[in-house]
Each structure stands twice: as structure tokens, then as C-alpha cells.
Amino acid sequence: MVSRKNVLKNNQTRIHLLLFCAALTLAAPSAFCQTAVSRPSQPAPTQRQQQGWAGQQSQQAWATQKLAKSPRRGEWVKISNGSRTLKAFVIYPEVKRNVPVVLVLHEVFGLTDSTRNTADEIAAMGYIAIAPDMLSGRGPNGGDVESFDQPHGASDTLTGLSDEAVNGDLNAWADYGDKLPGSNGKFAIVGLSWGGGAAFRYVASTQRKDLKAVCVFYDIGLPQETQHFPGAPASISVAPITVPVYGFYGSTDTRPLVTLDATKAAMAAAGKFYEPVVYEGADHAFMRVGEDPSNTNPANAAAVKETLVRLEKLLKSALL
């Protein structure tokens, strides 16, 4: 038999429990608001999630400001390639002698001020830097990179281009650079992300005596292209390569590192020079994010500094 004392005790327990639940109910909105405020910020959207070219460009005000303060002369130029008009930004070094040309190829979302900033840093080393808009004439209604205002538009267009189409534009810019007043007839390529892969494929299929070196940033090497681009050839031979290839990678950027050993093995087996460097702790596109004042990873900024020192040394060795 249950005693009256136990019944009273159980009733008190129920009352306390009900009061506690009521307090939780009243406090819930406040607790929810606190959780929402203190919730960790979401990771930055990936390149393919961000808005079109204008969205990319708007996030690079730091690069726009750096370019505005550059002491070097820069200008937009246009040339013809078949029925299309190609556009590029050309930056001239502050020297009076004839110098080599460096083609600086942009990332998959197209030519923005971060790539032009990298080109300006290369011009400061004493080279004519040409940053082509590789989407020239390929946008909506025949527009350039600025015409891609939808997500995926620029990246899908670039990754859908054939090597022949890309190489044709690169040859047109190389020919233009050779004929520039102040050019000594030699050139190298610095390719960033998509531009790095394009540069690697270019040097594997195009033999030019005036091309002296290729610098591949962040992108996978040959012949592993087909693992990432279903429409790519089953195998791209490295045998035709005649110039040194240098790699620049961040240790957290797993996509190119997965194929790095195979790339080194393929190049070594063919007797080709390939020197990759992996920057510890650096992310994908560290040349862009590492100079952005909002960057929170010090390894990216360190990679930028180390890269510029290495790049200056390599270009001097290959071109001068």
C-alpha cells in the first residue's frame, strides 16, 4: 500500500517537473536566439557556388585597390583570332631594355582583378605580363567575361572548350607578345587553377622555340585529366614537352595532390623536367586568398611570399 507521505512526495515531484518544463518553454525563444547568434560562420562558398563574374569581381576590391596604386603602366588591348576578337590586360615593366613576355592565365571563373594583380607582380620582376580574357567572345551574345552573370556560366564554358580552341588563343597571344615593342621574343606561361591545367595541356601539344617555361598553379597534371573531366582524352602524353614545368600546390588542396605522384612518375619516365613544390597548410588558390585582407589562414599569406621569391628565380633562370 502506498503511504500518504509517498503520494504527497510524488505530487510535489510532478509539480516541480511541470514548472521546470514551463520555464524551458518560456526560455526557448531566448535560447534559440542565442544559439543563432553564436553559430559558427559557414564556410565561404566555393567558386562554382558564387554568383557570376560580377560577384567574383566584387569580392576582390583589395586587388582593384592594389592595381590602382601600381606604378607600372597597364592597358587593355584587343587582337583578332579568326572571327573572334580577343581581349587582354597588358602590364609593362619599368625597364628600358627588351624583356620576355609572361602569359598569366586566370582561374575557372574568368579574368578578374586578382589575376591582374598577379600579372602586375610578375611585371614588377621585369617582364611584360599579358593576362588574357580566355572567355573573349564566348559569352552570351558574343560577350567577354563580364557577360557571364549566372553561376556556372563561365566555368562550364571554359571546361567545355577543346584544347585546340584554347591553344589557338594562347598561340595568338604568344604571337602578339613576340611582336610587342620591348619584347625580346621569349615567353613563359603562369597558369592559375584552370589556367594551370590549360598551360600543362598546351605545352604537351604545342612546340614553340620561344616558349621557355610553364608554371602550373593548383591544377592536376598530365596524364590524369580524364579522371576529372569525362570528356577529356583517355591519355595525354607528356612526351612532346620540351621545356621545364614547375608546380605550385597547397597541402590542403587534395584534388591535384591525388595525382601528383603519377604526374612526377610520368614526367620522369619520359625524361621531362618537372619540379613541384607543396606549400604546407596552404589552400587552393592561395595566390588569390593569401593576399585578401579577409584571409584567416596565415599559411596562404606565407605561400604567396615564398611563391613570388621562387617565381622570380625560376623566370630569371628560364628567360634571361
User: Residue 267 corresponds to which cell in the numbers above?
Assistant: 614526367
Residue 40 lies in a domain: no
Sequence letter at residue 103: L
Q: Are residues 260 and 135 in the same domain?
A: yes
Beta strands in 121-170 (DSSP E): 128-133
pLDDT of residue 129: 98
Give pLDDT tens digits along the chain (320 positions): 434 344 334 444 444 443 433 333 333 332 222 222 222 233 344 444 446 788 889 899 999 999 999 999 999 999 999 999 999 999 999 999 999 999 999 999 999 999 999 999 999 999 999 999 999 999 999 999 999 988 789 999 998 999 999 999 999 999 999 999 999 999 999 999 999 999 999 999 999 999 999 999 999 877 555 544 555 555 688 999 999 999 999 999 998 998 899 899 999 999 999 999 999 999 999 999 999 999 999 999 999 999 999 999 999 999 99
Residue 94 lies in a domain: yes
Which residues, at least 6 apart from 64, have a Cβ–Cβ distance to it below 8 Å? 113
Q: Are residues 177 and 94 in the same domain?
A: yes
Residue 64 lies in a domain: yes
Q: Are residues 7 and 107 in the same domain?
A: no
- List phi, psi (to 5°) of 115: -70, -40
Q: Are residues 9 and 152 in the same domain?
A: no
Q: For position 144, which CATH number holds?
A: 3.40.50.1820
Q: Are residues 16 and 63 in the same domain?
A: no
Residue 44 lies in a domain: no
What is the tally of structural domains in the chain? 2
Sequence letter at residue 126: G
Q: Are residues 28 and 118 in the same domain?
A: no
Q: Could you list the residue range(s) of the whole structural domain that residue 5 is in?
A: 1-33
Q: Are residues 161 and 216 in the same domain?
A: yes
Q: Are residues 60 and 22 in the same domain?
A: no
Q: Are residues 155 and 101 in the same domain?
A: yes
